[in-house]
C-alpha cells in the first residue's frame, strides 16, 4: 500500500549474515576491486572450497583468479609468496591451519622476514587464511590453535575474527595491507549468523588491524578473548550478571599487533582481569596479555592476580567427553571470574 502511494520503503539497518557468507562477500568484493588479488588453495575453485567460503567465485572470476592447487602446502604457499613479491596480492587458503605447519618455512622465512631483510624494498602483500583451533571430533592433528605461534613472529600481522562483521572487515583489511597477514578463522563459527550493520554491508567497510572491540560494558572484571571464546564470554557474562557481577568483555580481534591500550583502560576501570583462549596455556595469548599488563601502568590498578582460562595442556583427544573438557566452557569462565573476584 505504501509503495502504491509512492512512499519509499527503507531497508532494515541490520541483516543476519553467517561468518561463511561474510568471508565470501569479502573475497568477492576484493577480487572485484583489485585485479591483482587472487585466491589459491586446495579445492577452492571447482568445489567452491572445503567449507564453501569461496562458493561461486571460480565461476565468476575464472581459472586465473581462483586456482585449485595440489595437496602441497609448502609448494602453493611458496608460489603465493613469490607472486606477492612480484606485485600480486594472493590470498592463500589452508584447508586447516594445522596443515600450515607444512608451509611454515614459507610463512615465516619467506614472507614475514623479507620486508625487513630487504630494507623495505620488497613488500609481501599476502594473506594466509583458513580455519584455526579446535573443531568437533577431529582429534589432535586438526585441533591446534596457532594464534600464539604466528603472533610470536615479527613481520606478520595476525587477526582472529569472531563475528560476521569481524570476518568481513578484517579479511578486507588484510587483503589491502602491504604486509603478510595471517587470518585465523574458526570452523565452528562458519555457519553461525550474526547481525551485520548497514555500515558493514558497504563494499568499503574495513576494520582496522590492531584495534580491539568492547563487546559488553562492565564494571567488575575485564574478560579478554578472541575468536569463538568471545561468544562463551558473553554467555558467561549474562550468567554472572544475574548474580550481580558485571563483566566487560573485550573481543581482541587482532593478536599482532595487540591492542593492549584497550585492555589497560578496561583494567584501570574494573581492577580485575581474566583472559580466555582455546589454545594451550604455555606461552599463550593470555600469557602475553598478563605480561603486558604486569609490565605497564595498569598493573597498579589490579586488586587481584589475573586469571587465565585456556585449553587443556594436552593434544586434543578424539572422544567427545574428553574434547569438551579440553576446551574452555561457559562454566569455566564463570569459575575463573569468581576466582578473580574472590567470591
The residues annotated with a catalytic role in the active site are 73, 142
Q: Going along the chain, which residue ranges are E strands?
A: 15-18, 37-41, 66-68, 89-93, 127-131, 157-159, 181-185, 193-196, 213-216, 221-225, 247-251, 254-256, 273-276, 307-309
277 backbone φψ class: left, alpha, beta (φ>0; ψ -120 to 50): beta
Cα–Cα distance measured from residue 30 to residue 13, given in angstroms and rounded to the nearest whole number: 23
Residue 2, exposed/middle/buried by CB under 10 A (0-12, 13-18, 19+)? exposed
Q: How far is CA 255 from CA 103, 111, 167, 303, 323, in A?
A: 20, 18, 14, 26, 25
Q: Going along 62-159, which residue ranges are E strands?
A: 66-68, 89-93, 127-131, 157-159
Cα–Cα distance measured from residue 301 to residue 226, given in angstroms and rounded to the nearest whole number: 23
Closest CA to 226 of 150, 298, 285: 285
Asked whether 114 and 124 are in contact (CB, 8 A), the reply is yes
Closest CA to 279 of 158, 149, 153: 149
Helix axes 260-270, 285-295, angle to 10 degrees: 70
DSSP assigned state of 20: H
Number of helices (H) and strands (E) in the chain: give both, helices first: 12, 14
Amino acid at each position: 500500500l505504501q509503495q502504491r502511494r509512492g512512499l519509499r520503503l527503507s531497508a532494515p539497518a541490520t541483516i543476519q549474515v553467517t561468518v561463511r557468507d561474510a568471508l565470501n562477500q569479502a573475497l568477492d568484493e576484493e577480487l572485484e576491486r583489485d585485479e591483482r588479488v587472487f585466491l589459491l588453495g586446495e579445492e577452492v575453485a571447482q568445489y567452491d572450497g572445503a567449507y564453501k567460503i569461496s562458493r561461486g567465485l571460480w565461476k565468476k572470476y575464472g581459472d586465473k583468479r581462483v586456482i585449485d592447487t595440489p595437496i602441497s602446502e609448502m609448494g602453493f604457499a611458496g608460489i603465493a609468496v613469490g607472486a606477492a613479491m612480484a606485485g600480486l596480492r594472493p590470498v592463500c587458503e589452508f584447508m586447516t591451519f594445522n596443515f600450515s605447519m607444512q608451509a611454515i618455512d614459507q610463512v615465516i622465512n619467506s614472507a614475514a622476514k623479507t620486508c625487513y631483510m630487504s630494507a623495505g624494498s620488497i613488500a609481501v602483500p599476502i594473506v594466509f587464511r583458513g580455519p584455526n583451533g579446535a573443531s568437533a571430533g577431529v582429534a589432535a592433528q586438526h585441533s591446534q590453535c596457532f594464534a600464539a605461534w604466528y603472533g610470536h613472529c615479527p613481520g606478520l600481522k595476525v587477526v582472529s575474527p569472531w563475528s560476521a562483521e569481524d570476518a568481513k572487515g578484517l579479511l578486507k583489511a588484510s587483503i589491502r595491507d602491504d604486509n603478510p597477514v595471517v587470518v585465523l578463522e574458526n570452523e565452528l563459527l562458519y555457519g553461525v549468523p550474526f547481525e551485520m550493520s548497514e555500515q558493514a554491508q558497504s563494499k568499503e567497510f574495513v576494520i582496522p588491524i590492531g584495534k580491539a572491540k568492547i563487546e559488553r560494558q562492565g564494571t567488575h572484571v575485564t574478560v579478554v578473548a578472541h575468536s569463538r571464546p568471545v561468544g562463551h564470554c558473553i554467555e558467561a557474562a549474562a550468567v554472572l550478571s544475574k548474580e550481580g557481577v558485571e563483566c566487560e568483555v573485550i573481543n581482541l580481534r587482532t593478536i599482532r599487533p595487540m591492542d593492549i591500550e584497550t585492555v589497560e583502560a578496561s583494567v584501570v576501570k574494573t581492577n580485575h582481569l581474566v583472559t580466555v583462549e582455546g589454545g594451550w596455556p604455555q606461552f599463550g595469548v593470555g600469557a602475553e596479555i598478563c605480561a603486558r599488563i604486569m609490565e605497564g601502568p595498569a598493573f597498579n590498578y589490579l586488586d587481584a592476580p589475573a586469571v587465565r582460562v585456556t585449553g587443556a595442556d594436552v593434544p586434543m583427544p578424539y572422544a567427545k567427553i574428553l574434547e569438551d573438557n579440553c576446551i574452555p566452557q561457559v562454566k569455566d569462565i564463570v569459575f575463573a571470574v569468581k576466582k578473580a573476584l574472590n567470591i
